[in-house]
Amino acid sequence: MARKYTLQRPTTSGGSGIDFAEELNEQQLAAVSSPPGPALVIAGAGSGKTRTLTYRVAYLLDRGIEPRNILLLTFTNKAAKEMLERVRSLVPRDVSEMWGGTFHSVGNRILRRHAEEIGFTKSFSIMDRDDQKSLMNTVIAECEIDTTARRFPKPDVLISIFSLIENTGVGLEDLLEERYPYFEEWAEEIARVEARYRVKKRLINSMDFDDLLVLTLQLLQKNEELRSLYQRRFQYVLVDEFQDTNYVQSELVDLLVGEGQSLMVVGDDAQSIYSWRGADMDNILSFPERYPKAQVYRIEKNYRSVPEILELSNSAIKANRHRFEKDLQAAREGGAMMPALVSLEDPNSQAHFVAQRILELREEGVELEEIAVLYRAHHQSMTLQMELRNRGIPFQITSGLRFFEQAHIKDVAAFMRFVTNRRDEVSFKRMACLLPGIGAKSADKLWRGWADSPHAAAEVPPTAFSDILAELPVPRKSTSHWEQLGHTLDELVRDDGFARPADMIFSVLEGVYDEVMRESFDNYEHRRSDLEELMSYADRFDDVLECLAQLSLMSAVDGDPSGSKAELDSEQVVLSSVHQAKGLEWRVVFVISLTDGMFPNGRVLDADDEYMLEEERRLFYVAITRAKDELYLTYPQINPKSYSGEVIQRPSRFLDDCPAELMEEWQVSGEW
């Protein structure tokens, strides 16, 4: 029988000197000083989550825990860097042996040491997105898949499909049925590509981003000795933003934590908004069941927002059934105004209101960079972008490219530009390269054929583009798609001139481009919504040349300005999707387009899925908790949709969750 012997932890010299009771509130202190063992910290918005984690590390170091025995897992390199810098500023010790970083960076460190165990060498390459696309093209060719009769998903889409399979544990057939139903007929071929892609990565000694997690997990699952080694080393494991972990990350945490070790996970179930990329909120909700001895700590004092905004936030999230109970309390005194509920006539009126109020706030002393406009989807900002430009209000967009700079907007515009200017080589080639089997060389050859025809220089467009294009030397496998393109161009011309701009966009979308988007982009639905918004914008024009001129002006003005930084206006309003705004804060926040179908998203309402609707409500909660001083909730009563007439919109059901007494209704009047 083995004798048990316990090593006493040596007393450290040069402690931090931190008065934890003085520098932390009671709830933070309870979490920071928690005894060894599993612990779940529910940290509400603006409650000092990062402060709690960094002070927890300092507390452990003060009590003699060696830095090498601590593992800190985050979701972004920025968060890891910030936390490690704070630890270094708090504790006068060398913490270089402490492992702190993203899940992927920690996976890379482990795999660099043990890659041979899973069929790679330690010098394996890590592929970026472009590398993946290149390899995927090779794999598709090696699988000899005939893509001439039907469109096969492009590499970008395949990468997204395979990533979701890896990170969620959902099988290919189920994933296609749920998210990509238009690719179900390709299921067998996609499975072959996936299998070959896995083999190919080993042959070329390369891993993609997902492999850094998946292969680390497999390594620790299969090698008990190695698993025990890391469990003994990482006696204290801390995980940030635990509500955003996916299936693989959660399993990895469980494997790294052995018997007798301490695990502290910090997160906020009310801010779980990334299920679309594989995050599983059940990881945080089920934590007390997976770790029955877990202590649960709640940090509910909010240092960001005034009480009026917090009261609204607390009410908004209570409608969700799947959540931890908590009640955020404001550390700040009451503000000057209640959250404003603003009903406007239509998107134009909404844009007018937001722009005017921004200018008023600036006069009141609020810097433009302290103001943010948040929305559910990027296309909802288009009308506002135009209004801000017209009023000379500079803005930056964190949710992606400015509306008119996006590839799918430019693709559709290329059809309109070519029809109205038959000498537009750039638009012709952009349009041609959208079709399968046509690359740069083929497009150039087709252009030379078109340019040599008399129609290129004619003042009047031909009556039938399809007849002329049929004579050009198109690759055989592109014939049917080329014919469809010709028929689509025919629809853009009328006997008395050109079709209306909105009609043009509809014809391009339904005739050619919808299919292009389905097989080219993994966010097809978002891009479809963008083009529907573009149709609404174009519907105000009868003249296609005027419409194109405005599109060009918007692109020119909205592009990156030239010149040195000193010459640029640093004062800019922030436009952002709510997803991109998570973790940020501003003095003043506008949340716009709060109608059913926009926020919550229409696809969620159509699905009639409680879990999806609750995630939308959490997204709304994240939006309103970004505001420190003032909050404006706006919605247009009318949506001027093309082809279906004006649609009367219902205010977002999330506003119904908020008691009327917690908001001040603004009645906006005036000539619009």
Q: What residues are labeled active site? A: 49-50, 240-241, 271, 626
C-beta neighbour count of 582 within 10 angstroms: 19
Four-point Cα dihedral 557, 562, 566, 569, nearest 10 = 10
Q: How far apart are CA 249 and CA 247, in angstroms?
A: 6
Beta bridge partners of 371: 588
Q: Which amino acid is at 77?
A: N
For tokens 């292009």, the residue is 516
Instruction: Round to whole Å and give the CA distance between 513 and 503.
Output: 14
φ, ψ of residue 271 to 5 degrees: the values are -115, 25
Report whether 622 contacts 581 (CB < 8 A): yes
Torsion of CA 26, 31, 35, 39, to 10 degrees: 150
Measure the CA dihedral 305/309/312/317, to 10°. Answer: -30
Distance (Å, rounded) from C-alpha 489 to C-alpha 35? 71
Backbone angles phi, psi at 558, to 5 degrees: -85, -5
Tell me the torsion sign for CA atoms 241, 245, 249, 255. Answer: positive
Q: Which residues of 149-180 are buried (b: 16+ CB within 10 A; e: fewer)?
A: eebbbbbbbbbbbbbbbbbbebebeebbeebb
CA distance 405 to 453: 32
Residue 259's φ and ψ, nearest 5 degrees, are -65, 135
**DSSP code at position 69:** G
- Residue 633: closest CA among 325, 166, 360, 316: 316
